[in-house]
Structures are given as C-alpha cells and as structure tokens.
C-alpha cells in the first residue's frame, strides 16, 4: 500500500512531490522537537528552582544549628563557672 503511494507520487510529479512530502515531515518533526526542547527547558527550570529553594532551607537550618551550638556553649560555660564557684 505505502509502496503504491510512493510509486504514484513519482509518476505524478517525480521527485518534487516526494521532496515536498519530506519537507513537510521534516518541518513537523522539527516543530515537535522544538516543543519537546521547550518542555525539557521548563522542567530543568523547575528543578533548578527547587534546588535553589532546598539550598535556602539547608542554609537556614545550618544557621539555626550554629546558633544552637553557641547557646549550648554558653550554657556549658555558665555551668562550669557556677561549678567552679561552688568548689
């Protein structure tokens, strides 16, 4: 069936019709590829944004942990000072 269609295309207009068909197919494939690339780009943008958000959260958690360490150091220093006064 498909071979018959190609045969008729060659008989009708030679290579011009076939070239036009291939040009249309190439255009459609190129268009689909462009849309797929845009879809990938949007996905990468979302992933990058999520990565940035996670980095902000991690930085915030690190800051809280550092503050807790300082607080614990102050508590230990105070306890050591009180302990040395009792002796």
Residues with Cβ < 8 Å from 80, sequence gap 6 or more? none
Q: What is the pLDDT of residue 49?
A: 87
Q: What is residue 15's predicted lDDT score, i.e. its pLDDT?
A: 62
CA dihedral 36, 41, 46, 47 (to 10 degrees): 100
Q: Residue ranges per domain, the chain?
A: 2-86
The pLDDT of residue 33 is 82
pLDDT, average across residues 60-85: 91
Each residue's pLDDT tens digit, 8-56 = 666 666 566 667 777 787 777 777 788 888 888 888 888 888 888 888 8
């Amino acid at each position: 069936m498909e071979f018959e269609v190609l045969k008729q295309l060659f008989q009708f207009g030679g290579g011009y019709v076939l070239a036009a068909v291939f040009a249309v197919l190439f255009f459609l494939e190129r268009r689909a590829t462009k849309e797929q690339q845009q879809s990938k780009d949007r996905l990468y943008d979302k992933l990058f944004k999520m990565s940035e958000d996670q980095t902000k959260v991690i930085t915030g958690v690190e800051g809280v942990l550092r503050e807790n360490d300082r607080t614990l150091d102050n508590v230990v220093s105070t306890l050591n000072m009180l302990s040395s006064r009792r002796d």
